[in-house]
Amino acid sequence: MPIASQLNSPIREPPPSHISRHRSDTFIENNAIDRFRQITNAESNNRTAEDSKNGDDHSYDHRDINAYRRKVGEIVHDERFDVFILILIAINSALYGVATFPSMKQNADLISDFEKVDLAILIVFTIESSMNIFYEGKRFVRDGWLMFDLVIVIISWAATKVKSLQVFRIFRAFRFLTKVQMLRNVVVALFSVVPAIAAITVLLLLILYIFSVMYTQLFKNFFEEGYTTVNYFGRLDLTLFSLFQIMCLDEWSGIAYEVGEQDYWAWLIFIIFVVMSAFVVVNLIIAVICDALQILRKAERAMLFGLSEDEAGEWEAKDNNSNEQVQTEEGRIQQRINDMHRMLDEVVASQEKMHRTIQYLSIVVNSQETKNLSSGSKVMQ
């Protein structure tokens, strides 16, 4: 077929921009839905494969075991089940406090009822730990919080057999740490700053030791000479305890006044010690813990919204200053869709420009062929 006839053949008009945009919206949305389904199915398959590894390859049907494990997992991760366990922990902790009253100790019937309720709650905690072991499988030993719960349950059972260990049954109250997210965050923050706290603790011990030696040498005989009512600084160990009391601001002014009645300049070293220990070192520990909580909060937001910790910090600063809304995953997807819309619009515009160019070239070629045909016919004539 000659080029002219090809160019003269009807050219399909490109669809209008709003139709192209509608098609692109449908295409992008369908692709996003398919991608989400693929990711969900992949995660489900990975979880099922990992669960299958924990099953018995010889005695049971894997499908039945995994179905049971999923049902157990739905129970132990249900919010209502967590609330139920929290209520039991609160009741159990309150009962231990009530058991310390003399009227409780003198009533054998109440003691018997207390032991029955305590045993029932312990059985529930044991069932919960067993369900977690069954559901998590090998992952159980890698979860520190679940292992902590198991240790508490084991200690509680040991306390029921050994009378001297019964005092440790109150440790069940520590299970609040594993059930309340805010408490877990505080514990995680504390463990993350252990090196910094250890360094500050060494500094505090050094200050205590230096001032203990100084106070012992300066005020060793004040109690024997009747200047103080208590032997605050007679030995190094007594001085350490007295300085710890002063650091806690527990009646430190009374001790300072007793010593200052004999040596008027003694107030100076008391104030220096209080400022260095109570106002500087202790506040350093508080500042380190607060920084750890802030870092933990940034890390959680970074993990939740797919940002780096620096980006999460910048976002949090903007949020505090201007109360901006959080940039959600849907917002980022919408931004990408808008970018793709702009790209598609540019492609459509480029196609329209190419279409006009082809039409122009077709007209030029047709006119040229018409001239050639007319000139050829004249020559033949």
Establish if 295 belongs to a structural domain: yes
Which tens digit of pLDDT belongs to each residue from 288-298?
888 887 877 77
Confidence of residue 1 (pLDDT cuts 50, 70, 90): very low
Number of separate domains in the chain: 2
Query: Are 111 and 105 within 8 A, CB to CB?
Result: yes
Establish if 283 belongs to a structural domain: yes
Calpha distance 134→130 (Å, rounded): 6
* Rounded CA Rg of the chain: 39
Query: Hey, what are 128's tokens?
Result: 């919960």
Establish if 145 belongs to a structural domain: yes
Query: Are 243 and 208 within 8 A, CB to CB?
Result: yes
Query: Hey, what are 319's tokens?
Result: 């949020």
Calpha distance 104→95 (Å, rounded): 10
Residues 6+ apart with CB under 8 A from 211: 243, 269, 273
- Given this model, what pLDDT does residue 244 score? 92
CA nearest to 73, candidates 42, 94, 50, 102: 50
Which tens digit of pLDDT belongs to each residue from 7-64?
444 444 444 444 444 444 454 445 545 554 555 555 555 555 555 554 444 444 556 6
Whether 167 and 245 map to the same domain: the answer is no
Establish if 171 belongs to a structural domain: yes
Establish if 39 belongs to a structural domain: no
Return the CATH number at 306: 1.10.287.70
Region 147-162 average pLDDT:
85
Query: Hey, what are 74's tokens?
Result: 């739905």
Q: How many residues does the chain have?
A: 381
Query: Are 232 and 223 within 8 A, CB to CB?
Result: yes
Establish if 348 belongs to a structural domain: no
Whether 158 and 111 map to the same domain: the answer is yes
Three-state SS for 199?
Answer: helix
* Statement: the pTM of the whole predicted model exceeds 0.75: no
Calpha distance 131→70 (Å, rounded): 11
Whether 128 and 241 map to the same domain: the answer is no
Return the CATH number at 169: 1.20.120.350
Establish if 16 belongs to a structural domain: no
286's enclosing H/E stretch is: helix 282-305
Region 154-174 average pLDDT:
79
Whether 280 and 208 map to the same domain: the answer is yes
The two most distant CA atoms of the chain are separated, in Å, by: 148
Residue where a domain stops, chosen among 178, 207, 229: 178
Pick from 154-168, 226-240, 265-279, 300-314: least confident:
300-314
Calpha distance 135→138 (Å, rounded): 9
**DSSP per residue, 233-284:** SSSHHHHHHHHHHHHTTSSHHHHHHHHHTT-TTHHHHHHHHHIIIIIIIHHH
Structure-model confidence comparison of residues 278 and 300, the more confident one? 278
Which tens digit of pLDDT belongs to each residue from 94-149?
888 888 888 877 788 888 888 889 899 999 999 999 998 888 888 888 888 888 88
Whether 135 and 87 map to the same domain: the answer is yes
Whether 165 and 227 map to the same domain: the answer is no
Calpha distance 265→259 (Å, rounded): 9
- Give residue 253's Cα distance to chain centre: 44
Query: Are 123 and 203 within 8 A, CB to CB?
Result: no
Which tens digit of pLDDT belongs to each residue from 316-370?
555 555 444 445 666 778 777 888 888 888 888 888 888 888 877 778 777 777 7
Which tens digit of pLDDT belongs to each residue from 184-195?
877 877 788 888
Query: Are 208 and 277 within 8 A, CB to CB?
Result: yes
Which tens digit of pLDDT belongs to each residue from 212-244?
999 999 888 888 888 888 899 989 999 999 999
Calpha distance 157→165 (Å, rounded): 10
Establish if 268 belongs to a structural domain: yes
Whether 227 and 312 map to the same domain: the answer is yes
Whether 208 and 164 map to the same domain: the answer is no
Structure-model confidence comparison of residues 90 and 20, the more confident one? 90
CA angle at 182 for the pair 178 and 186, rounded to the nearest 5°? 85
3-state secondary structure 102-160: HHHHCCHHHHHHHHHHHHHHHHHHHHHHHHHHHHHHHHHHHCHHHHHHHHHHHHHHHHH
- Given this model, what pLDDT does residue 344 score? 84
213: containing domain:
194-322
